[in-house]
Amino acid sequence: MPENAAKKLEVELLAITPDAEKLIEQAGRTCYLSFDRIGADSQKSFIKRLIAMGHESPLEHASATFRIRNCSRAMTHQLVRHRIMSVSQQSQRYVSEEQFSYVVPAGVAPEDEARFAEDMRTIQAMYNFWRDKGLRKEDARFVLPNACTSEIVVTANFREWRHIFSLRLSKKAQWEIRKSCWLILDVLKKHAPSCFEDFESGQTQ
């Protein structure tokens, strides 16, 4: 049985709008026809002003795509609620779970991890039993746990990423989606600091 996949949570940047901040400034300045103010360092203060006044639609011109691996179905179920995000996710109808890996919740004490692994083995046996009986993957998956890992590719524009961070980096959000969003935030801050620097980075280990 695989070890706890939570330790291997992975976020990979697949694509991002080139010169995203430059593009946002060019789009945003169209509103004011203030192209003459574009300078070496003008995008930083311009984008910050847009965000401060809530004029965030120019941020929709830039987008970023990430692949997330070794996360739980419990996490992806929350992430896919964001409707302005495009999603492609590993299917339990087409991909076999006869050797599924799983995420142990952060709240499980180290001394209880063996018991959690035992539960996963029981569920694995249940799934394999139904598959051996000839049940299709799409039906055998009904016995699978939320802990089951998934792989997902998500694309959102910068305005939507900001919205997702405002909800999912909060202490009220669940630990795994917070961790995933911190990893995404760290990447976006490198590529477009003016668009994301008002969000605090967090603990990703």
- For residues 9 and 176, is the Cβ–Cβ distance under 8 A? yes
- Residues 6+ away with beta carbon under 8 Å from 86: 154, 155, 156
State the minimum distance, in angstroms, from the CB of residue 137 to ligand FAD: 27
What residues form DSSP beta bridges with 106?
Answer: none
Q: Residue 103 is which amino acid?
A: V
- For residues 75 and 115, is the Cβ–Cβ distance under 8 A? no
Give whichever of 133 and 172 is closer to ligand FAD, judged by the CB atom.
Answer: 172
**E runs forming strands in the chain:** 10-16, 63-72, 86-89, 149-157
State the minimum distance, in angstroms, from the CB of residue 160 to ligand FAD: 6
Tokens found for residue 54: 């809530």
Give whichever of 27 and 167 is closer to ligand FAD, judged by the CB atom.
Answer: 167
The residue ranges that bind ligand FAD (CB under 6 A) are 81-84, 160, 163, 167, 172-173
Tokens found for residue 182: 């911190």
State the minimum distance, in angstroms, from the CB of residue 167 to ligand FAD: 4
CA–CA separation, 171 and 192 (whole Å) = 24
- Is 168 a catalytic site residue? yes
- Of these residues, 29, 159, 162, 168, which one is catalytic? 168
State the minimum distance, in angstroms, from the CB of residue 145 to ligand FAD: 19
Give whichever of 1 and 84 is closer to ligand FAD, judged by the CB atom.
Answer: 84
Give whichever of 69 and 163 is closer to ligand FAD, judged by the CB atom.
Answer: 163
Catalytic residues: 168
